Structure 1
Amino acid sequence: MPKKALILLEGSRMGTGQLYVQAAKRLGLQPIILSADPAQYNYLATENIEAIRVDTDDLDALIRECSRLRETYDIVGITGFPNPGESLYAIVAKLCRHFGLPGPNPTSIERCCDKFNQRQLLAEAGVPVPVYRMATNATEVESAAAEIGLPVILKPVVGNGSSGVRLCRNAEELAEHAIGLLGGTYTWQTSPTILVEEFAEGPYFVADIMGNEVVAVGAATFGPPPHFVYDEYIYPAPLTVEEHERIVKVALSCLRALDLNWGPTNIEFRWTKRGPVVIEVNPRLAGSPDPQLIQLACGVDLVTEHIKLVVGDECDLRKRHSQTASAQFLVPDRDGTLDWIDGANRAADVPGVAEVTWYIKPPTPIIRKGDSRDCIGHVIAASPNHEQTEVILQLAVDLVRWSITPFPTIDE
């Protein structure tokens, strides 16, 4: 009898891919990675799994490769990760549909991939969203910003991980970032189209959903503007019962508006003067370290439960305990060559620390981009309450050190 296999499109630099590989093995499945560049995922050798090079943007090529693999394996499920963009998850949905496997609705996923289209559908359904406009050139950007009023957010209509997203606080920053996006320094997955939107000021929250159930609500902070690089995440979010219920209510209205009713979704909010305003609906599981934090906070392993859905089994979202779990990201303050890292073992030995993870290994050149790719690692801690978790986390982070040598400058 052929071995049951789970096909994973692409991987994840920040660790989610390895979580899926490990969970698939625990469920008795053979994970197989299909990637345009398997070498970028360091854990593949560690986990000793098959990785096949294939253009993951080419649906026909993926169908051919999966058909070839079916000659050897019983392919029971297909899923993947948004690397580099949400459009890959739409391809996952189409693959599942082609092979008659459980998966999300491709049309629903594609509607979410376009942030302008997503905004329109949410607004039409009465879901609170920032004021927004679409622009395809610098003149339209300037006009849209004038209508909305500064400060505004500029972001590519298609993309993820805050890539290309900037807060523009004045006319100079607006013009500079518009030129950067449209002038060739940003790599577009589609024709250049910019979403110009109101800066919804207020605390940031995220709702993690499986099917039609909000499993957890977390909170996060960011590093200094104009970028949106995560600084710290915490689960559960410090909300009152009423505030939590309001976020859940808006989250479920998003699912209805976008026809999302299968598998994982994560929804980002800002709590403004209007209450929770939807910043983005991502029709997929949030990346690491969210799944680890949720498992530590309430005992639900969203990675394993998602795989169960992918292979046609029922998932179990019952909460098994209640803790506070938090992650702090390790973010360099300069460009240069990462020479060494130290203190990870000491930090991991601190009671209450659950994980110390590096995404890269020295020596590695670091060029900050002002998005999630700037994070080079994270530390996770958990305890029975918020205050204790914060103390543990800070103690551990203070033990972690690294050295970056600036790139040599060319003397004129």
Structure 2
Amino acid sequence: MTRRALILIEGHRGIGLRYVQAARSLGLHPITLSADPARYDYLAAESIETIRVDTDNLDALIHECSRLAGTYEIAGITGFAGDDESIYATVGKLCRHFDLPGPNPASVERCCDKFTQRQLLAEAGVPIPAYRLAANASEVESSAAEIGLPVILKPAVGSGSIGVRLCRTFEEVAEHTTYLFSEKHIWRSSPRILVEEFANGPDYGAYIMGNEIIGIESAEYNCQPHFVCSEGTFPAPLTDDEYRLIADISLSCLQALGLGWGPTCIQFRRTERGPVVIEANPRLGGGPQPVHLAYGIDLVTEHIKLVIGREANLRRSHSHVPAWRSLLPDRDGILEWIDGESRAAAIPGVAEVKFYVGPKTSIVRRGDYRDSMEYVIAVSSYRSRTKSALQRATELIDWSITPFPTELEQSAVPRLSAPTQISAAQE
């Protein structure tokens, strides 16, 4: 009997392993196609079949999937974006090519271009921040002046808050514009900057599967002028009217953007004029674990069911309150040690503790999702009890980072003369 395979395009340090485990629980054989499999340590650890291929090359992916179809029955194809959301459009194109269930690639492409997304939402009357598109430094400055400080500068195409910054002065606008247009920022499309009004207020994220609102999470973003999500609670403490308003706007977003298949997450800020949409993303929001702990709905498994043509089960089996926290470094340098994982995991109510880094890791803060060193999530029937367990657990985790030496310190280190240098073979 031919084995049924689930093709995963690229991987993900947070949820990639969950997809592998869920695929296996559904009787599927997971196969990962990646340009650099070494980026995902769980692939080797779990002995997952992995194929190196240029995932930016649609023809190469079609060729590889066609070759695999000679050995396996391809049950479905999905994938992960990382810092390149074009992967989702590629997944949609692959699904169309092989006549498999998947997202509409044209809708995904429109959604992933933040300027196009803004235009479509504005045309549909969805509340969004004021915005302008700029292709050079002069346009950025004039756009900031038109909108009024403070403003947000972000790449028109990108994810994970990479390159996103709050600018309160024109000097900061100029500084960040120079950075984005320099070689320090990697562009995956033509360089264009979105200049946006700073929508100030609490953050929320709507979890959606198909056209059904699963729930709304409250989130906290620290480290201004950058935006790094550091904590979340699910479900958010909202009144019924507040929930309905965000849910209605979320459904309007789906219609305006042509979404409605599979997972979508929509980020909001609740401002003085009400909730405004910051971004809509055609993927699972954050991590699916809070929804699973809160309602018993495993979004990863239910997503895979859709991918392979089955019906998703989104019924709640219980109602709890999880909360999570990402621990962020306070400096750049070498992580000498990090511990407390087992002590934190032993706290009653703690559901998971996951370290993303280990000793001797080089820590360079970028001001985006990659800054997180570890993740802790707790759950109970009461919000206050959950928050208490989360606080106790994170207090038990500690680390030491030795700052990188300054240029002056480096120049003061004596160098060995050539005749006395020790080679690796001699050590």
TM-score (norm 2): 0.95
Query: Shift of residue 323 of structure 1?
Result: 0.8
Q: Select which of 298, 310, 315 maps to 1:318.
A: 315
After the TM superposition, which residues 77-156 of structure 1 pair with which residues of structure 2 at under 5 Å, given as runs?
77-156=76-155
SS at match of 1:226: coil
User: Alpha-carbon deviations, 1:49-91, whole Å to 9, x = none?
Assistant: 1111111111000000101111111111000011221111000
User: d(CA) in 2 for partners of 1:160 and 1:152?
Assistant: 18
After the TM superposition, which residues 262-411 of structure 1 pair with which residues of structure 2 at under 5 Å, given as runs?
262-288=261-287, 291-411=288-408
In structure 2, the residue matched to 1:217 is: 216
In structure 1, the residue matched to 2:415 is: none
User: d(CA) in 2 for partners of 1:8 and 1:361?
Assistant: 26
User: d(CA) in 2 for partners of 1:396 and 1:87?
Assistant: 37
User: d(CA) in 1 for partners of 2:51 and 2:355?
Assistant: 25
User: Alpha-carbon deviations, 1:310-350, whole Å to 9, x = none?
Assistant: 00000000011111101110110111111211110000000
* 1:4 and 2:8 are equivalent in the alignment: no
Query: Shift of residue 206 of structure 1?
Result: 0.3
Query: Shift of residue 183 of structure 1?
Result: 1.8
Query: Shift of residue 46 of structure 1?
Result: 2.1
May I ask how many residue pairs the two structures share in their alignment?
A: 409
In structure 2, the residue matched to 1:203 is: 202
In structure 2, the residue matched to 1:258 is: 257
Query: Shift of residue 360 of structure 1?
Result: 2.0
User: d(CA) in 2 for partners of 1:83 and 1:292?
Assistant: 18
Query: Shift of residue 405 of structure 1?
Result: 1.1
User: d(CA) in 2 for partners of 1:402 and 1:32?
Assistant: 36
Query: Shift of residue 287 of structure 1?
Result: 3.5
The runs of at least 4 consecutive aligned structure 1 residues that moved more than 3 Å come to none
AA matched with 1:168: C
User: Alpha-carbon deviations, 1:205-256, whole Å to 9, x = none?
Assistant: 0000000000010010011310101110110001111100000000000001
User: d(CA) in 2 for partners of 1:57 and 1:340?
Assistant: 37
Query: Shift of residue 105 of structure 1?
Result: 0.7
User: Alpha-carbon deviations, 1:237-296, whole Å to 9, x = none?
Assistant: 0111110000000000000101112110000000011211000000111243xx001100
User: d(CA) in 1 for partners of 2:77 and 2:407?
Assistant: 49
In structure 2, the residue matched to 1:64 is: 63
User: d(CA) in 1 for partners of 2:34 and 2:140?
Assistant: 36
What RMSD over aligned residues (CA atoms) do the two structures have, in Å?
Answer: 0.8
TM-score (norm 1): 0.98
SS at match of 1:219: strand
On the 8 A contact 2:205/2:285 being kept in 1, the answer is no
AA matched with 1:62: L
Query: Shift of residue 361 of structure 1?
Result: 2.1
User: d(CA) in 2 for partners of 1:342 and 1:360?
Assistant: 11
On the 8 A contact 1:163/1:372 being kept in 2, the answer is yes
On the 8 A contact 2:223/2:367 being kept in 1, the answer is no
User: Alpha-carbon deviations, 1:163-196, whole Å to 9, x = none?
Assistant: 0000001111111000000122110001100000
AA matched with 1:142: E
User: d(CA) in 2 for partners of 1:86 and 1:117?
Assistant: 14
On the 8 A contact 1:35/1:53 being kept in 2, the answer is yes
SS at match of 1:154: strand
User: d(CA) in 1 for partners of 2:332 and 2:166?
Assistant: 21
In structure 1, the residue matched to 2:50 is: 51
On the 8 A contact 1:205/1:217 being kept in 2, the answer is yes
In structure 1, the residue matched to 2:41 is: 42
AA matched with 2:162: S
* 1:229 and 2:213 are equivalent in the alignment: no
User: d(CA) in 1 for partners of 2:113 and 2:229?
Assistant: 23
List alignment gaps of at least 5 residues for structure 2: 412-427
User: d(CA) in 1 for partners of 2:253 and 2:67?
Assistant: 38
SS at match of 2:407: coil
User: d(CA) in 2 for partners of 1:71 and 1:65?
Assistant: 10
SS at match of 2:185: coil
List alignment gaps of at least 5 residues for structure 1: none
User: d(CA) in 1 for partners of 2:407 and 2:117?
Assistant: 46
Q: Which has the larger Rg?
A: 2
